[in-house]
Amino acid sequence: MDVNLALSPQAILFDKIDSKPKVLAAIAQLLSQAYGLDEGEVLENLEAREALGSTGFGRGVAIPHCRSKDVRRPSLAMIRLEQPIDFAAADSRPVTLVCGLVSPENAGATHLHALAAISRLTRDEAKLQMLADAPTTEAAYALLTTQFERDAA
């Protein structure tokens, strides 16, 4: 299944962010800077989706996601948090890895395939540990790029 997920090295951040609202703002900023999107619109859409129910996926991972009229294909941003934060996850575990996704407005199945690809990656304990241990954002980018290219093949 070809997900054709956009991933920019500028869309990866290792940081100490101490709350869910600040994480959503940081994801919106990364997505807007890396892919030329309207930061305010992305943040508003992420917050609206989050209001429907937490995107805390479990196992220390959150996948906040939304859609935008300004994006051509699903686009990813990732933040690895230095300290875990509460994200109201399904398993009640605090979150240290946040994968933000923005997809085209009318990309129903494509959006779901992109979420599934991220989900597969984060369910793999070894890959999750490799992301947690990545010494630099460049190393995390290389891991993610390799994984999503393998998924698409």
Active site residues: 65
Residue among 82, 104, 99 at smallest CA distance from 144: 99
Pair of tokens at residue 33: 């800077």
19, 90, 148, 150 from 43: Cα distances, Å: 15, 22, 25, 30
CB 50 within 8 A of CB 25: no
Residue 89: phi and psi, rounded to 5, are: -70, 160
Pair of tokens at residue 130: 């490799």
Helix (H) or strand (E) run with residue 109 in it: helix 108-123
CB neighbours of residue 32 within 10 Å: 21
